[in-house]
Amino acid sequence: MTMKLYNPLLIAEDSDEDFEVLQLLMQQMEVPNPIYRFTNGDKVLDFLYQEGDYGNPGDTPRPSVILLDLNLPGTDGRDVLEQLKQDHNFKEIPIVVFTTSSNPKDVEFCYKNGANGYLIKPFDSHELEKTVQAFVDYWLATNTPPRNGH
């Protein structure tokens, strides 16, 4: 019996607390995808472009989806979104923004720049669980990502 290989879920989240909660919820939901976490936009880009600490081409699995916080130190989520969606190698990777910002300007900016979804982090833990469950059900279980080269 061959084991199904799952492409990783890439999470760009600088808050340790938020990431720990996400990780815990995904463990409870038995998410089979490996989770790669980056605390700033520069590391996300280095990973995808195989630069800096990730300079071994071919070793980098292509993420099935990117969960992107907007407010990241250094290169923020807006810049990461713009850069990846303008790059023909990466524009097909679904990017779901996951942020505390409910500012309509942020929502509009993200969709104009190719975001595939926009989730506002609820402060209530029960609501957060429902939001993460909906994300997992759709993006990791139901959605069919493009089969692109890598």
Q: What is the pLDDT of residues 59-91, one digit of tens each?
A: 678 899 999 999 999 999 999 999 999 999 999
| pTM for this model (two decimals) | 0.91
9-142: CATH, from 3.40.50.2300, 3.90.740.10, 3.30.565.10, 3.40.50.1980:
3.40.50.2300
Token pair recorded at residue 98: 């996951």
Judged against a pLDDT cut of 80, whether residue 1 lies above it is answered with: no
Contacts of residues 114-122 at CB distance under 8 Å and 24 or more positions apart, as own/partner, are 114/81, 114/84, 114/85, 115/68, 115/81, 115/85, 121/18
Tell me the pLDDT tens digit for each residue of 23-65.
999 999 999 999 999 999 999 999 999 888 777 766 678 899 9
Determine if residue 102 is left, alpha or beta; phi over 0 gives left, psi from -120 to 50 gives alpha, anything else beta: alpha
Could you list the beta-strand ranges (E) of the chain.
9-12, 35-38, 65-68, 95-99, 117-120
- pLDDT tens-digit map of 93-139: 999 999 999 999 999 999 999 999 999 999 898 999 999 999 999 99
